[in-house]
Amino acid sequence: MRLRHKPYAMEMIETYPQFVIADPEAYKGSWGKLFGNDNPIHIEVGTGRGRFIYEMAKAHPHINYIGIEKFSSVVVDALQKLIDEEVPNLKLINKDAKDLTVFFESEEIDRVYLNFSDPWPKARHEKRRLTYKAFLRNYEQVLVKDGEIHFKTDNQGLFEYSLMSLAEYGMLLHYISLDLHNSDFEGNIMTEYEEKFSSKGNRIYRVEARFRNEPVL
């Protein structure tokens, strides 16, 4: 992904600490207190410009959402949405997702969304893919016992890799779609990339995966 540098990004982020949480590690185990309720918490890893998680939060006010995006020049677009119209059940984190277990306690999260993640197609970059086993291990640690990962992409290679990675980790796969927009799935909220790619005729792939309650050997 080619990023356009925005020199004002960090200043803008620091101006709105009520929306972009500067010290997420301070809320580990107590995110419910920050939201002021005990509602389920869903996170999006790699939230990008924020359309998906912003619309999800508006559509589901009884679920708390946290968008995690490491690039400040991207997360400011998500922040701008909250400035324009605040959504109380949505917070943002401008940090690297590899630190999930620093931000969240075990079994504190109910669902993880992965939308149009960087495919990192070269074999030597496999460990950077958000469905690589090391990331899955982190998701498993912060998710509740029946927590799920919902994954969408337009990249067939990444989708095939992810199905294999999820299955090899011992996860249960369901609702696999090889053409989401021509399926009977209801309630889909598109990301900015999804709208762009699908308008070009790209097929959208989607899967839901759940960790097994019994330990993986």
Cite the active site residues: 118
**Could you give the CA distance from residue 198 to residue 65 in angstroms, rounded to a whole number?**
25
CB burial readout 182-198, b (16+ within 10 A) else e: eeeeeeeebbebbeebe
- Which one-letter DSSP state was computed for residue 96? -
Two tokens at 104?
Answer: 């969240």
First to last CA, the chain: 36
Instruction: Work out the angle at residue 81's Cα, subtended by the Cα atoms of residues 83 and 16, and round it to the nearest 5 degrees.
Output: 35
Quote the longest CA-to-CA distance of the chain. 48
Give the Å distances, CA to CA, from 116 to 44, 54, 63: 11, 16, 22
**Could you give the CA distance from residue 105 to residue 97 in angstroms, rounded to a whole number?**
14
**Could you give the CA distance from residue 150 to residue 37 in angstroms, rounded to a whole number?**
24
**Could you give the CA distance from residue 41 to residue 111 in angstroms, rounded to a whole number?**
7
